[in-house]
Chain A
Amino acid sequence: MTWLVWRQHRVQYLIGAALLAAFAAMIVITGEQVSNQFHAAQVACAAGHGCRHLGGLFMGSKVVGFLVIATLGTPVLVGLFCGAPLVAAEAEAGTTQFAWMQSVTRKRWLMVKIGWMLLAAVIWGGVISALVTWWLSPTNAEQLNQFDPGRFDIVGIVPVGYSLFAVALGVTAGALLRRTLPALAVTLAGFIVVRVLITLWLRSHYMSPVTVIYNVLSGFTPKGAYWQLASGVLGPNGQPLAQPNNTPYFDGIPQTYLPGACSVMNGPNPPNNPPPACAQALSHYHAYLTYQPADRFWTFQGIETGIFLVLAATLIMVTAVTLLRRDA
């Protein structure tokens, strides 16, 4: 059976390996430049020559940066080109009739085919993620944004979970629809929908976020690469303040809520500290920041990977039950 899987998929495996090798070469070459650039800037900054570059440093070439962001889409490729045809192409060509008549049982045929495909998906997701994580580490250290949606999704262990899910989705769609093209379309659409729903709505609820309420004059920034969920200003009664568009603001508070003494702060030559009457009025207001702390990054990666592994396992179960019950 393993020999059969190799003969059926060797072209795909070789193309996949060639793509990974080309990607690795590009990432390693540009990644070396990036980390040298970053360390030089860091040394200059520490030596007191000015940290100007650290804020605005663009790391690496734009083209490779674009490619790295485009790895958001790589997990679905295994679902499309390896997962969806796994059963559907054989069903379309009628070769399942032949395959299921052999001495190898249908259960074993399915297990070996899916097993190798899942292993390939793990390698595909793992290699790409390892390269991207390494390439982005100076950028993450500088911009502290690895927890943000879109960055979280291409580093760490979640790409492996996404790849496994994509393959499982493709295999299931193919097994249920028994036609390759509709299965491909369903895989593509299903993957995007599930990923977007989880990223935009579910992920922020994995753990209760932390809300910090602080004085508007002092400011507050959590440590490290935290994930900001909401921020704003609370009025004296503790309610979030409306943010009208048609008024100037000072420290996040519309001028209309503040005494006239504060208006100099938005004038042409603002003093360093607000006048006493203004400072007193400001002390009644509090700012809030709701966020996920940076040290939850790996917990979130683990939870998200777990969710996608459970989804993948469920889909494989559905496929197995469907195929084993179906008449050949």
Chain B
Amino acid sequence: MTWLVWRQYRLQFFLVAALLAAFAVLIAITGVQAANQYHAALAACAAGHGCRTLDELFLGSHAVGFLVISTLGAPVLVGLFWGAPLVAAESEAGTTHFAWMQSVTRRRWFAVKVGWMLLAAAVWGSVISALVTWWEGPNNALQLNAFDTGRFDIMGIVPVAYSVFALALGIAAGALLRRVLPAMAVTLAGFIAVRGVIAFWLRRHYLSPVTVYHSVTTSFTPPGSYWTLTSGVLFPNGQPIDQNTSGNVLSGVPVNYLPASCNQTTRGAFTPPPSCTQALAHFRGFLTYQPADRYWTFQGIETGIFLVLAAALIAITAVTLLRRDA
């Protein structure tokens, strides 16, 4: 069986290995440059020559940066090109009739094929993620945005789970629909929908976020790469201020809620008079966020969710295939 899987997939295997190797070379070359640039700037900053460049430093090349962001789409490729055809292509060509008549049981045929494919998907996801995580290291240290939606999704261990899920989704869609192209379309749409729903709506609820209230005249910044969920300013009665009102704003408070002494028109440093400071003291700013030290907990939870989804899909496929008449 393993020999059969190898014969069926060796061409794809070589293609993928070549793609990964090319990607690794590109990442390694530009990543070393970015790391050197970052350490030089950091050393200059520490030596007191000015930290100007730290904020505006663009690390690495634009083209490779684009490639790194587009690894958001890498997991679904596994589902499209390996997952969907796994059963569907054989059904379409009628070769399942032949495969399921051999001395190898259908259960074993399915277990070995799916097992090798899952291993390949995990390798695909982890190689890409390892390269991207390493490449983005200086950027994360500089911009502290590793927890942000879109960055969280291409680093750490979640890309492995996404790849495994995409593969399982493709296999399940192919087994149920028995036609390759509709299975591919369903895999693509399903992957985007599940990823979108989880990234935009579910992820923030994995752990209760932390809300910190602070005086509006002092700002509050949590340490490290925290994830901002909401922020704003509260009235003295605790109601949030609508930030979409137009007009001048002082420390996040629209000036029409403040005494006239707060109304300044000159730009630049403005030291509010005491009557203004006193009025401002009744307002409070708030920041709701997920602290930076929850990063790996969130990675673990998200990985777990996608692995459970993948396992459920594989189970459905197995039940469907084993019950189906050949």
Distance of A12 from chain B, by nearest CB (Å): 9
Are the C-beta atoms of A248 and B196 separated by less than 8 Å? Answer: no
Chain B interface (Cβ within 8 Å of chain A)? 37, 40-41, 43-44, 47, 49-50, 52-53, 62-63, 66, 73, 80-81, 85, 89, 180-181, 184-185, 196, 200, 244, 246-249
Tell me which residues across on chain B come within 8 A of A102, comparing CB atoms.
none
Are the C-beta atoms of B50 and A266 separated by less than 8 Å? Answer: yes
CB < 8 Å: which of A53, A73, A196 contacts B246?
Answer: A53
Distance of A44 from chain B, by nearest CB (Å): 3
Are the C-beta atoms of B247 and A49 separated by less than 8 Å? Answer: yes
Are the C-beta atoms of B185 and A246 separated by less than 8 Å? Answer: no
26 CB contacts below 8 A, A to B, read A44-B246, A45-B246, A49-B246, A49-B247, A49-B248, A50-B247, A50-B249, A52-B247, A52-B248, A53-B244, A53-B246, A62-B200, A63-B196, A81-B181, A180-B180, A181-B81, A181-B85, A181-B180, A196-B66, A245-B40, A245-B41, A246-B43, A248-B52, A249-B50, A249-B52, A266-B50
Q: With A62-B200, A180-B180 in contact, do A247 and B248 touch (Cβ < 8 Å)?
A: no
Verify if A123 is at the interface (C-beta below 8 Å from B). Answer: no
Measured in the bound complex, the distance between the Cα atoms of B44 and A50 in whole Å is 39
Q: With A50-B249, A85-B181, A89-B181 in contact, do A196 and B50 touch (Cβ < 8 Å)?
A: no
Are the C-beta atoms of A200 and B49 separated by less than 8 Å? Answer: no
Are the C-beta atoms of A181 and B63 separated by less than 8 Å? Answer: no
Q: With A81-B185, A185-B81, A200-B63 in contact, do A41 and B246 touch (Cβ < 8 Å)?
A: yes
Verify if A204 is at the interface (C-beta below 8 Å from B). Answer: no
A159-189 vs B, Cβ < 8 Å mask (1 yes, 0 no): 0000000000000000000001100110000
Measured in the bound complex, the distance between the Cα atoms of B63 and A69 in whole Å is 18
Tell me which residues across on chain A come within 8 A of B47, comparing CB atoms.
246
Q: With A63-B200, A85-B181, A266-B50 in contact, do A50 and B41 touch (Cβ < 8 Å)?
A: no
Distance of B20 from chain A, by nearest CB (Å): 14
Distance of A272 from chain B, by nearest CB (Å): 10
Measured in the bound complex, the distance between the Cα atoms of B41 and A249 in whole Å is 14
Number of A-B contacts (CB under 8 A): 69
Verify if A314 is at the interface (C-beta below 8 Å from B). Answer: no
Tell me which residues across on chain B come within 8 A of A37, comparing CB atoms.
244
List the A residue with the shortest CB-CB distance to B52: A249
Distance of B247 from chain A, by nearest CB (Å): 4
Are the C-beta atoms of A50 and B246 separated by less than 8 Å? Answer: yes
List the B residue with the shortest CB-CB distance to A80: B184
- Count residues of chain A with CB under 8 A from any CB of chain B: 31
Tell me which residues across on chain A come within 8 A of B81, comparing CB atoms.
181, 184-185
A23-57 vs B, Cβ < 8 Å mask (1 yes, 0 no): 00000000000000100110111000110110000
Tell me which residues across on chain B come within 8 A of A245, comparing CB atoms.
37, 40-41, 44, 49, 53
Helix, strand, loop or mixed for chain B's interface? Answer: helix
Measured in the bound complex, the distance between the Cα atoms of B311 and A282 in whole Å is 67
A75-90 vs B, Cβ < 8 Å mask (1 yes, 0 no): 0000011000100010
CB < 8 Å: which of B66, B80, B248 contacts A50?
Answer: B248
Measured in the bound complex, the distance between the Cα atoms of B246 and A184 in whole Å is 51
Distance of A165 from chain B, by nearest CB (Å): 19
Measured in the bound complex, the distance between the Cα atoms of B247 and A196 in whole Å is 43
List the B residue with the shortest CB-CB distance to A57: B244
Since A49-B247, A247-B49 are in contact, a sample of 11 more A-B pairs with Cβ atoms closer than 8 Å, ordered by chain A residue number, is: A37-B244, A52-B248, A63-B196, A184-B184, A200-B63, A245-B40, A245-B49, A245-B53, A246-B43, A246-B50, A249-B50
Tell me which residues across on chain B come within 8 A of A43, comparing CB atoms.
246
Distance of B86 from chain A, by nearest CB (Å): 11
Distance of A150 from chain B, by nearest CB (Å): 9
List the A residue with the shortest CB-CB distance to B49: A246
Are the C-beta atoms of B248 and A248 separated by less than 8 Å? Answer: no
Distance of B203 from chain A, by nearest CB (Å): 13
Are the C-beta atoms of A247 and B50 separated by less than 8 Å? Answer: yes
Measured in the bound complex, the distance between the Cα atoms of B65 and A196 in whole Å is 13
Tell me which residues across on chain A come within 8 A of B63, comparing CB atoms.
196, 200
Tell me which residues across on chain B come within 8 A of A52, comparing CB atoms.
246-249
Distance of B271 from chain A, by nearest CB (Å): 14
With a 10 A CB-CB cut-off, give which of A49, A181, A245, A266 has the most chain B CB atoms: A245
Distance of B43 from chain A, by nearest CB (Å): 8
Measured in the bound complex, the distance between the Cα atoms of B80 and A44 in whole Å is 50
A93-112 vs B, Cβ < 8 Å mask (1 yes, 0 no): 00000000000000000000
Measured in the bound complex, the distance between the Cα atoms of B200 and A63 in whole Å is 8
Tell me which residues across on chain B come within 8 A of A41, comparing CB atoms.
246
Are the C-beta atoms of B246 and A181 separated by less than 8 Å? Answer: no
A1-28 vs B, Cβ < 8 Å mask (1 yes, 0 no): 0000000000000010000000000000
Are the C-beta atoms of B181 and A180 separated by less than 8 Å? Answer: yes
List the B residue with the shortest CB-CB distance to A256: B49
